[in-house]
Structure 1
Amino acid sequence: MSTRHTCHTVSLLRRPIKNGRLSLYLDFYPAIRNPETMKMTRREYLGIYIYAKPCNETQQDFNCQMLEKAEAIRCLRVASLINEKFDFLDHDRMNGDFLAYFKKMCRRKSTKWPAAYSHFSKFVRYHCTFGQLTVDLCRNFRNYLLSAVQLRRTHYAIRRNSAAVYYSTFRSVLKMAYRDKLLKENINEFLEKIYPEEVRKQYLTSSELKRLASTPCEIDVLKRASLFSCLTGLRISDILNLRWEDIHFSPDQGYCIRIRTQKTRSIAILPLSDEAVELCGSNTSFGIVFKGLKRSMSNHPLKKWIRQAGITKHITFHSFRHTYATLQIAAGTDIYTVSKMLTHKNVVTTQIYVNLVNEKKWATVSRITLK
């Protein structure tokens, strides 16, 4: 059974512009997909112009040189379309810079993406083409992550869970490259992921949360943002980007926030308690809510405040999110509602907090004794 391929034509055309010049562009028929915008288009402007009416020999020579360059580009586009039609990868594409592509994919991503890029760059000694991406190279990168040291604190090894995230990120980039027809095969099918270790999630009990709330903090915005996270379950990335324009008031239901979460990019509408609204401070109607809050505050300043409250647990800013989930489930809130409030894509992710509450119940068994 034969397969009919669409025959593309690429024409070199001219469009009048100012000062008596003509702009050269390519016309594709039928339309092709722009790999940057993913939109269908028929035109590609080359940024090359010629004189509409050359008045001397210099302008005539200039026109000849520009037309030759434009024709060379047209021939390259035709060759590329033929390669795609018959499922070939041209030589220039295989020699393309994979690291540049990886770095480009890191834009507007979480901090884990640039870290994964830096580790892979270091692993390949800062040079890697698409043609050099083999199954063996990718497997060796997996082994590298399992034994490598951190980028900044070089006397510490990468934690297994961090290695799992970095390798998962790397595999996502491979998937994107295959989707964009920069790789001739889906290498992911031959790679084994790094399985993370189960980590016990730390959270504050109700009494510890009250003690923390009553303990003064040197940085007021840090205290307000931390307690706000305990009352809403929001990640620090979402709190840092929370704007007054995201907070809405309904006469029937009160305040709520409507945001697109930084991690999952999902849109969520979350109700706010009166206490959570008070922690936001004075309403300015626009701009950042927790103005002055910096991610760096979640390190030493937060640890100092935790110690001053007499709490010896290893509490991070993300622990406040765990605190919200655990206390909600312990108070009787059903897991599906908690999952929606946490903007989890799958309720299975929320199940771990149920397990934490169950452990708490078992711990009460020995508290009543007849001896």
Structure 2
Amino acid sequence: MDISKLNLNKSDKQVLIDFENYLIVILNLSKNSVSSYLNDVEKWLEYCSSNNFSALSAKTLDVQKFYQNVYGDKMAINSAVRSFSSLQNFYSFLQDNELAIENPLENMARPKKTTPLPSVLSYEEVDRLLKAPDLNSKFGIRDRAILETMYAAGLRVSETTSLKLDDLHLSMHLINVVGKGNVERIVPLNDEAIHFINLYFKEIRDKINKSNSNFVFLNYQGNGISRQSIWKLIKKYLQIAGIDKKVTPHTLRHSFATHLISNGADLRSVQELLGHQNVSTTQIYTHIANNLLLKVYNEAKPRK
């Protein structure tokens, strides 16, 4: 940012220049973070100037009016969080340098980030997606086995691509999954997934495994399938299944967890199956499950 070209008076420009140095030298922020902070503070300084008061003597009410007048109800919560952080750092800098006595944000509640609920597929949509691969095509059986395994075990795409033969314990309906931080967990596998994994081994895998790979799911060349390939095949089968939603490979994992909770699974068990270190990460699926149940109720309630 070229501060010299901003529509600010000379003293405000100098304060902003000093604040920029503070962000770079003292806080050691990245270039993008510095730019974001400066943009937020610039808006605040312009507001102060246009309303004939100094940012150095601003009160809490001034800041509240600033957020209401400049951003109003249209301000995204994440932008509000960042803006609040920018002004907090700005006033910390001013107080450290004895340029301001008070911090007008001191008695204001910090905005809280909201975590958007992830997209999930309904039971019917999952069924359509899993049945989309053509089992008569060369790799349709493999793709069906991949989709069935990802949904049945709630696997991340990276966990799917790294799955090895030694991780399969199909006779016991279990697989060993290596998750984030190389943390291992044991996850049950249903009959449908096991059936298509065995069919894939019999009809496809042994014929293409020219390099004697230890990975379960292989590409056309007989090497371990990539994350990008799984993204592409899911996109392909979404179109075939006629599912018009924003879906990623992770959506199958979200759907797995949500459907478990909807069917009465307890939170701790789902946490273990997903490999979450903190149960608070898993709690988001209770909100999704409740929303789905409420939607079903509203659509089918006996008295409307």
TM-score, with length taken from structure 2:
0.55
| Aligned equivalent of 1:26 | none
| Aligned equivalent of 2:217 | 290
| Aligned equivalent of 1:74 | none
Counterpart CA distance in 1 for 2:37 and 2:233 is 31
**Mapped contact 2:148–2:192 kept (Cα < 8 A):** no
| Alignment gaps of 5+ in structure 1 | 1-132, 148-159, 165-194
Residue from 260, 265, 272 that aligns with 2:178: 260
Counterpart CA distance in 2 for 1:316 and 1:288 is 22
Cα drift, residue 297 of structure 1: 2.2
Which structure is larger by alpha-carbon Rg, 1 or 2?
A: 1
Counterpart CA distance in 2 for 1:314 and 1:255 is 31
Counterpart CA distance in 2 for 1:248 and 1:328 is 22
More helix by share: 2
Q: Which residue identity lines up with residue 347 of structure 1 in the other structure? A: V
Structure 1's 260 and 198: CA in aligned 2 closer, same or farther, altered over 3 A? same
Residue from 244, 251, 264 that aligns with 1:312: 244
Note the alpha carbon deviations across 1:339-359, whole angstroms, 9 max, x for none. 100000011111110110111
Structure 1's 209 and 145: CA in aligned 2 closer, same or farther, altered over 3 A? farther
Aligned pair 1:242/2:163, yes or no? yes
Note the alpha carbon deviations across 1:305-331, whole angstroms, 9 max, x for none. 102101111111110000110111111
Mean alpha-carbon deviation: is it higher for 278-287 or for 326-335?
278-287
Note the alpha carbon deviations across 1:117-153, whole angstroms, 9 max, x for none. xxxxxxxxxxxxxxxx843431644245899xxxxxx
Within 5 Å, which residues of 2 pair with 1:162-177? Answer: none
Structure 1's 146 and 360: CA in aligned 2 closer, same or farther, altered over 3 A? farther
| Aligned equivalent of 1:341 | 273
SS at match of 2:129: helix
| Alignment gaps of 5+ in structure 2 | 1-23, 39-77, 83-111, 207-211, 220-224
Structure 1's 210 and 295: CA in aligned 2 closer, same or farther, altered over 3 A? same
Aligned length: 193
Within 5 Å, which residues of 2 pair with 1:43-122? Answer: none
**Mapped contact 1:232–1:276 kept (Cα < 8 A):** no
Residue from 244, 255, 278 that aligns with 1:323: 255
Counterpart CA distance in 1 for 2:113 and 2:231 is 24
**Mapped contact 1:298–1:316 kept (Cα < 8 A):** no
SS at match of 2:120: coil
Within 5 Å, which residues of 2 pair with 1:273-288? Answer: 273-280=190-197, 281-282=200-201, 287-288=214-215
| Aligned equivalent of 1:203 | 120
Counterpart CA distance in 1 for 2:122 and 2:186 is 26
Counterpart CA distance in 2 for 1:226 and 1:146 is 44
**Mapped contact 1:203–1:319 kept (Cα < 8 A):** yes
Counterpart CA distance in 1 for 2:121 and 2:281 is 19
SS at match of 1:269: strand
Note the alpha carbon deviations across 1:232-276, whole angstroms, 9 max, x for none. 0011101101011111256xxx13222321x23212112222222
Counterpart CA distance in 2 for 1:312 and 1:341 is 28
Within 5 Å, which residues of 2 pair with 1:172-251? Answer: 198-216=115-133, 219-220=139-140, 221-248=142-169
Q: Which residue identity lines up with residue 282 of structure 1 in the other structure? A: F
TM-score, with length taken from structure 1:
0.46
Aligned-residue RMSD, C-alpha: 3.3
Counterpart CA distance in 1 for 2:201 and 2:258 is 29
Cα drift, residue 288 of structure 1: 0.9
More strand by share: 1
Relative contact order (C-alpha < 8 Å, sep 6+): which is higher?
2
Note the alpha carbon deviations across 1:182-231, whole angstroms, 9 max, x for none. xxxxxxxxxxxxx8652231111111111122223575333421221111
Counterpart CA distance in 2 for 1:326 and 1:282 is 30
Note the alpha carbon deviations across 1:69-124, whole angstroms, 9 max, x for none. xxxxxxxxxxxxxxxxxxxxxxxxxxxxxxxxxxxxxxxxxxxxxxxxxxxxxxxx
| Aligned equivalent of 2:282 | 350
Identity of aligned residues (%): 27
